[in-house]
Amino acid sequence: MPDVHRIYEVRCPIHGFITLNDWELNVIAQPAFQRLRRIRQLAWTDYVYPGAMHTRFEHSLGVMHTATLLYDAIVRSSKDVLASELAYDEAGLRRGRQLVRFAALLHDLGHPPFSHASEELFPKGESGKRYKHEDYSIAIIRSELRSAIEDHPLNGANYGFRADDVAALVGGSPRAKTGIFWKDLISGQMDADRMDYLLRDSYHAGVQYGRFDLHRLISTIRPVRYYDGRAPRLGISQGGWHAAEALVLARYFMFTQVYFHKTRVAYDVYLRQTLKELLPDGCFPNLVDGELQEFLKWDDWKVLGLLSDGKGGEHGARLKARDHYRLVYRTQEVPDEKNLKQLETIKGMLGGLLAAEEAASKSWYKTGPTDIPVVDDLDEKTVKPLSDYSHVVKNLETNSQILLYAKSEDVPRAKKIVDEVREHDRSA
Amino acid sequence: MPDVHRIYEVRCPIHGFITLNDWELNVIAQPAFQRLRRIRQLAWTDYVYPGAMHTRFEHSLGVMHTATLLYDAIVRSSKDVLASELAYDEAGLRRGRQLVRFAALLHDLGHPPFSHASEELFPKGESGKRYKHEDYSIAIIRSELRSAIEDHPLNGANYGFRADDVAALVGGSPRAKTGIFWKDLISGQMDADRMDYLLRDSYHAGVQYGRFDLHRLISTIRPVRYYDGRAPRLGISQGGWHAAEALVLARYFMFTQVYFHKTRVAYDVYLRQTLKELLPDGCFPNLVDGELQEFLKWDDWKVLGLLSDGKGGEHGARLKARDHYRLVYRTQEVPDEKNLKQLETIKGMLGGLLAAEEAASKSWYKTGPTDIPVVDDLDEKTVKPLSDYSHVVKNLETNSQILLYAKSEDVPRAKKIVDEVREHDRSA
Amino acid sequence: MPDVHRIYEVRCPIHGFITLNDWELNVIAQPAFQRLRRIRQLAWTDYVYPGAMHTRFEHSLGVMHTATLLYDAIVRSSKDVLASELAYDEAGLRRGRQLVRFAALLHDLGHPPFSHASEELFPKGESGKRYKHEDYSIAIIRSELRSAIEDHPLNGANYGFRADDVAALVGGSPRAKTGIFWKDLISGQMDADRMDYLLRDSYHAGVQYGRFDLHRLISTIRPVRYYDGRAPRLGISQGGWHAAEALVLARYFMFTQVYFHKTRVAYDVYLRQTLKELLPDGCFPNLVDGELQEFLKWDDWKVLGLLSDGKGGEHGARLKARDHYRLVYRTQEVPDEKNLKQLETIKGMLGGLLAAEEAASKSWYKTGPTDIPVVDDLDEKTVKPLSDYSHVVKNLETNSQILLYAKSEDVPRAKKIVDEVREHDRSA
Amino acid sequence: MPDVHRIYEVRCPIHGFITLNDWELNVIAQPAFQRLRRIRQLAWTDYVYPGAMHTRFEHSLGVMHTATLLYDAIVRSSKDVLASELAYDEAGLRRGRQLVRFAALLHDLGHPPFSHASEELFPKGESGKRYKHEDYSIAIIRSELRSAIEDHPLNGANYGFRADDVAALVGGSPRAKTGIFWKDLISGQMDADRMDYLLRDSYHAGVQYGRFDLHRLISTIRPVRYYDGRAPRLGISQGGWHAAEALVLARYFMFTQVYFHKTRVAYDVYLRQTLKELLPDGCFPNLVDGELQEFLKWDDWKVLGLLSDGKGGEHGARLKARDHYRLVYRTQEVPDEKNLKQLETIKGMLGGLLAAEEAASKSWYKTGPTDIPVVDDLDEKTVKPLSDYSHVVKNLETNSQILLYAKSEDVPRAKKIVDEVREHDRSA
């Protein structure tokens, strides 16, 4: 008889060994989860950073592990607060831990092939709003993984979870009020997802940009509340504010240096166009039962097979041949008016030579209600948001760079035009 | 006008930046080389070590880089020997360097999908002997890459290489006699290929096993000759013999812990069977012109697409579903007679329950003519082979472990049989 | 006969192997350089980060190595500019390289025990201005190392350097005009010193804060000039500006997290007081001949021996017993007026309970003439300072945190006072 | 009121953060423990590997941490065995954990300055046998640390430890029979001490030699017993035997490459001679009360201060001036008879030119009763010693290399003699 209490281990380049219980192993064994082995984390980034071939599967295990490290640290440091403010007892904390692990593990289930594609390839829901990959994650948890989550002996004997409990935490509207607090671990400005992908993407790509002090964050993270009656949020003690600041900067550097790399951005254009070509009606199957199973068949393997077969139109051919558009102009990351005017002039003069225009837009840190609270370790009554401590974080302006591309054969003509506009603006 | 003297850089997680000249970049841009982006280095190893998704493309760049580090170190330390023994002058050394770089870069071109498959899937040549992937590498260099190698301005102006020169060094029978020496850098017991894959496979899989002291090897490698008239070979000075010993052991550990992992070996069985099913006549296209282009179409993408499409028979389905055979018995790595007898008994009793039998056979170090020569740094006249210095290396016995597998549904019955045989042998 | 062309290697945890020629080895062998083995890089930081025991010796080798990496990269990318703008030919570049190596190697010679101590412990020069450790470095190069630099066969045969040439580059006023450019490698906002200590201090302390992308900096650094007639300065191409920004941030993080750690700062107070007690007249010997030899006897060993012997007064005893003052109040890193007013109130009320007041003041990046120039890689004519690209760097406000300490026995009383002031200010 | 339940953290380059409870922190704060900050781990190794400046303090924390990782892994995997074979319940396991932590933390307390010195510098006990540093560790625990161990509130409320309990585990004869098992974690062929120093020494020296797969060892370590009635010992499951083999090899490599480095060995000669000169009667103070306090004053600081002051005789001067003896001859690591005969001849002919003769002798693995037991994971009833699995470990012959040194001024004459003997032997 198999031992449901057995612990399994998976080797992870970032965290050493990741341990799994029998229940989790069983969830991971489901086809809807195994599909993540066939979804590369960073799409075509390997065309620029050849080492970056890793998958959502590896990352999902890592997020579960990181969320657990954070969870355990919070319980270790703040069991009293969790008890007094959120009414957790020992059993509740054990239960919360398992719930957080599942939500972290499964939050990425709904990714399309190559992890990201244009929003416009998702169908619209009844409300008329387009679905997002999170909606697919939730739908998959509720259908494909329901049985694996609900019917395992470890669940019946100890927790009585419903798949909906996991889905609720992934979706951000947990049914249990107390669960709201843990939501920050799954998606927030200091969440386990972000921590894992920054470290993992840096590692496989072979760069330093995404490194930060995970140990320090773990040792200083805790529930913090402003003294204004609001519920506690995930925050840090003062000794960790520079580590939190460094996490924000690690993301800033990974975006500007890797995710928004000019060539990588060009391949995103191709991927979008290629998928539009390959998908029936240029759109992913819906997330309703019956169609969701069709959606799940869309993974990297299928797309690569189609590309190998010559499908995917001009953009598919370019993807396969690695014949990408060339950058001919880009604005500053935070363009001023003069810069935007130059952009418009150049676009106008390029006309048909403009093969693609892409925006690398990203906000680095949100102040306001989600600003990370920091508690002073010399004075516990003083709680201020991270952006009050960090001038760096407060002044990180939203990226809104625009990049203009031309086909390689058009580059000389396009560059000539760009140079002329520049020269004109310089002498003006 | 593009600048042929420009230097390009590619980020590498192992070596930092790998630099390329315009000529090399052009060779790399050829479809036959880009195909290596679509050949995973370690096949289905990610089913055991999820991080191991890296490709032959990344590795090939790394081998070129490592070979260059070794080449430059040898020139730095032993220019005088290279001049007196092998007649190299400055121009010759520059030429040799470029030749070694190309051979290192291109030595893996002929790999089939997923890097390795059974020898029996390759067709036989005229001699009746089956081809190996090296034969395909050579054929591809001579046909698909001929023009990229021969027609670049940097070649005409400086070297006058023929594609055959590169192919000869890959194949081990360089036309220029002096080139023989450099062959050891491409394929030998201390070659750049081995150094790179040990470090790279360890890195992406997240293990320590393949680490060794690359710096020390580089700083102690040199041309060494026994004082018996034989030509110099790649050897080391005494200060590096433990580093060379550690390289041998790193390979030993990587094989026993990663490449021969019981589950990984099971997937190799599937891959072989699946390819046999998918290939026309169960055999790769020949390497002759016309068919070679067909061979080149066989890459991971094509196979993954076919698997996604439900092709590949039972084994293909198992590969996709990750439903692997289970190990029920294995001999020791160096089985004794008693062990082999037990194996035979078990095989006989398992009968139809035996789903697969695989041999993990490997020689760790070859003494004899290819034993690495070590020169005493207190006494330059004393040259002895590494196996004289290292009791470890001398006593590393060839691995010849046999592994027996059953289908998962048959495991309980198979294990019962195995246990009975063991119990019987124990009490005997 | 020893071979003056021999190359030596020293193992370095940061850079692998550092190579030295016979001349450099001979300089390193001089007692005035060996003394750096007896000067810890980070003083008493090991009381907080136990791994941080490394010395100026290790760092000095690393700076020489890093400066060479940068030098070689600049020559590789910009030989034409160096020729046209600065009149370098091959021989000149070889000479410049050796000069830069010596200056980088020797720039830290004049450090007092434990690397840093209060300026007030140095004597005043004739001008009435206190000397700095750089003045001692220069004096030592000119006296103790003169012969080792000038009399080596490699110098006579190839360069004809004077010790004054090295001293001039260390001091920032090179006699040869062209040398000015290389000064930025030795001391500037992107110098080899900074690059090495950030990586090395992070490594031994076991933190991530000081990591940055050295490879990327190396591959994008180059001579850049504003088109206004000024001489070229060390700058970068646009592809490297985020790497340069990350270098500035790495320093920011190392200071706030390690160098300005509250406990480390407390030990700096003790060190200063202890040295004042131990030094004859509370002041280091002068740098003039005769006295300089006395100065050189002041190293960590001597001080540790005196502490072991019970010398050094109250502060010496506290240093040895690790009985440090405790932080009871600190302002923000960039205090506002309200914050400074609170500080004054607290200081007034603490009175005799205030054991020490320390300022952690540091400027992170200097705009103006030393702002790092960045050249646009799509448009070589556009050169703008880094602070124009980076909002982060531009907005990094100077640190001017003030920390207040009490003796451990006084902490409860002091904290009570601080809490009362805080409470009063809060309710105000 | 201070919170005795507070957890403290210390940054460690090897293990991230090391956590401490208030009781442990208090033990660490004692002068006898703080003294370890003043004892370098690898003596004068920094003269060869400049980064190796780390101390016993850092290492001792690491051993405590590693022992805890192992302890917790064993409890996780084998709580049932610990209960059935060794009668542990939950409280017992918590108690055992704290005891193991203290023993691991304190096992190195008795080291003399620079960690090692000749046995002959220790006084003899009543039995006439010379003491070892372990005897001093035990004596210090029983006297200097008794109160800190026994009088802390966490002890009284929960454990009731005596300092003698800790001393007993350090000394290997625990009073509680069940404790014997844990002894293997403190000193054995797979102990936490070894694991920590191999990783830490490699790290600071900047070499790869001591790396092994700590994660894998942790996940496969467990109590194993031979089916012959003997008590369980620390062993591993079959999946970890290559990791255990790699641990043995890591030690082999660290000794041959670092600890037995020819120059490092020369400085050990000096250290011994210097201490003999400096110590009253050439011998360390006894470990009896009254004298033990004198012994504790002997740390690196004191010795460095004396060297700085010109004390220590000729060898002290050479230590400070880094003027070391030069290797002129060494036997193989496992010398054969011919080799030993040559050694004798050379020694005879060198006569007064022989400045020092040192033996680098070390056994790499002990078979027999302490051979690490391995349990087959396909067949739990099969337990065999590691040396049965590993041909490498079985064949690692004891090192017994002899090294001969001459003063630097005598090297040419000594080398001439050595060369003549070699030449003679070669032609014989």
The 10 Å Cβ neighbour count of residue C37 is 21
- What is the pLDDT, as a whole number, of residue D176? 47
pLDDT digits over D203-235, tens only? 999 998 999 999 999 999 999 987 666 778 899
Distances (CA, A) of A346 to A328, A422, B206, D356: 10, 9, 47, 79
- What is the pLDDT, as a whole number, of residue D234? 92
Minimum CA–CA partner of A305 in chain B: B305
Cα(C112)–Cα(C278) distance, integer angstroms = 13
pLDDT band at C397 (very low <50, low <70, confident <90, very high): confident
Minimum CA–CA partner of D333 in chain B: B389
The candidate with the shortest Cα–Cα distance to A169, out of A200, A199, A137, A143, is A137
Q: Are D30 and D148 in contact (CB under 8 A)?
A: yes
Residue with more model confidence, B101 or B82: B101
Distances (CA, A) of D278 to D42, D121, D274: 20, 11, 6
The C residues from 176 to 215 touching B (CB cutoff 8 Å) are 215
Q: Are D396 and B391 in contact (CB under 8 A)?
A: yes
How confident is the model over B317-344, as a mean pLDDT? 93
How confident is the model over B189-208, as a mean pLDDT? 96
Q: Decide if B37 touches A, using CB distance below 8 A.
A: yes
pLDDT digits over D15-48, tens only? 999 999 999 999 999 999 999 999 999 999 999 9
How confident is the model over C233-249, as a mean pLDDT? 94
Mutate to test the interface with A, among C14, C198, C214, C249 (most CBs of A within 10 A): C249
**CB-CB neighbors (< 8 A) of D389 in chain B:** 332-333
At residue B203, what are phi and psi to the nearest 5 degrees? Answer: -60, -55
**CB-CB neighbors (< 8 A) of C382 in chain A:** 422, 426
Minimum CA–CA partner of B17 in chain C: C215
Q: Decide if A328 touches C, using CB distance below 8 A.
A: yes
Name D382's Cβ contacts closer than 8 Å, sequence gap at least 6.
B422, B426, D375, D376
- What is the pLDDT, as a whole number, of residue B176? 47
Cα(D217)–Cα(D66) distance, integer angstroms = 11
> In one letter, which amino acid is B46?
D
- Write the DSSP symbol of residue A130: B
**CB-CB neighbors (< 8 A) of D219 in chain A:** 9, 17
Cα(B52)–Cα(B258) distance, integer angstroms = 10
pLDDT band at C203 (very low <50, low <70, confident <90, very high): very high
Look at the block and give the residue holding tokens 């119990």: B423
B378 and D242 within 8 Å at the Cβ level: the answer is no
The candidate with the shortest Cα–Cα distance to A396, out of C103, C275, C391, is C391
First to last CA, chain C: 83
- What is the distance, to the nearest Å, from the Cα of residue B399 to the centroid of all Cα atoms in its chain? 17
Cα(B197)–Cα(B249) distance, integer angstroms = 14
Q: Decide if A343 touches C, using CB distance below 8 A.
A: no
Q: Are B50 and A57 in contact (CB under 8 A)?
A: yes
Distances (CA, A) of C345 to A378, C125, C326, C419: 17, 39, 19, 12
The 10 Å Cβ neighbour count of residue C326 is 18
pLDDT band at C227 (very low <50, low <70, confident <90, very high): low
Q: Decide if C395 touches A, using CB distance below 8 A.
A: yes
How confident is the model over C255-284, as a mean pLDDT? 94
Using CB atoms within 10 A of its CB, is residue D426 exposed (0-12), middle (13-18) or buried (19+)? exposed
Residue with more model confidence, B217 or D230: B217
How confident is the model over D160-168, as a mean pLDDT? 94
Cα(C30)–Cα(C35) distance, integer angstroms = 9
Minimum CA–CA partner of D9 in chain A: A219
Please check the confidence at residue B27 and state whether its pLDDT lies above 70. yes
pLDDT band at D5 (very low <50, low <70, confident <90, very high): confident
Nearest residue, CB atoms, C16 vs list B76, B77, B215: B215
Q: Give me the sign of the Cα torsion angle C155, C159, C162, C166.
A: negative
Minimum CA–CA partner of D78 in chain A: A6
Can you give C52-111 as a three-state secondary structure string? Answer: CCCEHHHHHHHHHHHHHHHHHHHHHHHHHHHHHHHCCCHHHHHHHHHHHHHHHHHCCCCC
Using CB atoms within 10 A of its CB, is residue A344 exposed (0-12), middle (13-18) or buried (19+)? exposed
- What is the pLDDT, as a whole number, of residue D87? 86
Cα(D72)–Cα(D93) distance, integer angstroms = 9
Q: Give me the sign of the Cα torsion angle C419, C423, D1, D4.
A: negative
Minimum CA–CA partner of B333 in chain D: D389
Mutate to test the interface with C, among B66, B215, B222 (most CBs of C within 10 A): B215
Using CB atoms within 10 A of its CB, is residue C157 exposed (0-12), middle (13-18) or buried (19+)? exposed
Rounding to the nearest 10 degrees, give the CA dihedral for residues A411, A412, A417, A422: 90
Nearest residue, CB atoms, D16 vs list A11, A77, A215: A215
Which residues lie across from A385 on neighbouring strands? A373
Residue ranges of E strands in D169-255: 221-224, 233-237
Cα(C54)–Cα(C199) distance, integer angstroms = 12
Question: How many residues are present in chain B?
Answer: 428
pLDDT digits over C152-176, tens only? 999 989 999 999 999 999 987 655 4
Which residues lie across from A224 on neighbouring strands? A233
**CB-CB neighbors (< 8 A) of A333 in chain C:** 389
Would you state the structure tokens that stand for residue B346, as one six-digit string?
């078990």
pLDDT band at C257 (very low <50, low <70, confident <90, very high): very high
- Write the DSSP symbol of residue B258: I
Mean pLDDT of chain C: 92
Please check the confidence at residue B180 and state whether its pLDDT lies above 80. no
- What is the distance, to the nearest Å, from the Cα of residue D78 to the centroid of all Cα atoms in its chain? 28
The candidate with the shortest Cα–Cα distance to C202, out of C258, C119, C256, is C258
**Strands across the sheet containing D326-330:** D326-330, D399-406, D356-362
Rounding to the nearest 10 degrees, give the CA dihedral for residues A406, A409, A415, A417: -90
Mutate to test the interface with C, among D53, D64, D201, D267 (most CBs of C within 10 A): D53
D329 and B378 within 8 Å at the Cβ level: the answer is yes
The candidate with the shortest Cα–Cα distance to B374, out of B215, B211, B180, B233, is B233
The candidate with the shortest Cα–Cα distance to C44, out of A240, D301, D202, is D301
**CB-CB neighbors (< 8 A) of B9 in chain C:** 219
Would you state the structure tokens that stand for residue B29, as one six-digit string?
């841009």
Range in A170-184, A335-349, B72-86, B406-420 the model is least confident about: A170-184
Distances (CA, A) of A394 to A369, C385, C392, C399: 14, 22, 9, 16
pLDDT digits over D76-105, tens only? 989 888 988 888 899 999 999 999 999 999
Using CB atoms within 10 A of its CB, is residue D363 exposed (0-12), middle (13-18) or buried (19+)? exposed
Give the closest-approach CA distance of B169 to chain C in angstroms. Answer: 29
Cα(B388)–Cα(B229) distance, integer angstroms = 20
A308 and B301 within 8 Å at the Cβ level: the answer is yes
Cα(A335)–Cα(D217) distance, integer angstroms = 54
Range in B403-407, C208-212, D148-152 the model is least confident about: C208-212
| Element containing residue C9 per DSSP (H, E) | strand C7-12
- What is the pLDDT, as a whole number, of residue A44? 93
Cα(D396)–Cα(D393) distance, integer angstroms = 5
Residue ranges of E strands in A205-302: 221-224, 233-237
Q: Are D324 and D270 in contact (CB under 8 A)?
A: yes
**Which chains are within 8 Å of D by 3+ CB pairs?**
A, B, C
Mutate to test the interface with B, among A8, A10, A11 (most CBs of B within 10 A): A11
pLDDT digits over D288-307, tens only? 988 999 999 999 999 999 99
Please check the confidence at residue C86 and state whether its pLDDT lies above 50. yes
Supply the ipTM of this predicted assembly.
0.93
Question: pTM here?
Answer: 0.95
- What is the pLDDT, as a whole number, of residue A176? 47
Q: Decide if B409 touches A, using CB distance below 8 A.
A: no
Distances (CA, A) of A324 to A356, A414, B86: 11, 15, 45
Series of mean pLDDT values for 10-residue runs along chain A (428 residues): 82 96 96 96 95 97 98 92 88 94 97 87 92 96 97 93 94 61 90 97 94 94 80 90 96 95 92 95 93 96 95 93 92 94 97 94 89 89 91 90 95 96 89
- What is the pLDDT, as a whole number, of residue C176? 47
**CB-CB neighbors (< 8 A) of A422 in chain C:** 379, 381-382
Cα(B264)–Cα(B284) distance, integer angstroms = 23
- What is the pLDDT, as a whole number, of residue B368? 86
**CB-CB neighbors (< 8 A) of B221 in chain C:** none
The candidate with the shortest Cα–Cα distance to B86, out of B180, B203, B194, B202, is B180
Name B301's Cβ contacts closer than 8 Å, sequence gap at least 6.
A304, A305, A307, A308, B38
Please check the confidence at residue B88 and state whether its pLDDT lies above 70. yes
Cα(D192)–Cα(D228) distance, integer angstroms = 27
Cα(C386)–Cα(C369) distance, integer angstroms = 12
Give the closest-approach CA distance of C32 to chain D in angstroms. Answer: 11
**CB-CB neighbors (< 8 A) of A419 in chain C:** 379
At residue D384, what are phi and psi to the nearest 5 degrees? Answer: -135, 155
Q: Decide if C13 touches B, using CB distance below 8 A.
A: no
Nearest residue, CB atoms, B391 vs list D381, D389, D395: D395
Q: Are C224 and C236 in contact (CB under 8 A)?
A: yes
The candidate with the shortest Cα–Cα distance to B365, out of B245, B258, B253, B235, is B245
Cα(D314)–Cα(D318) distance, integer angstroms = 6
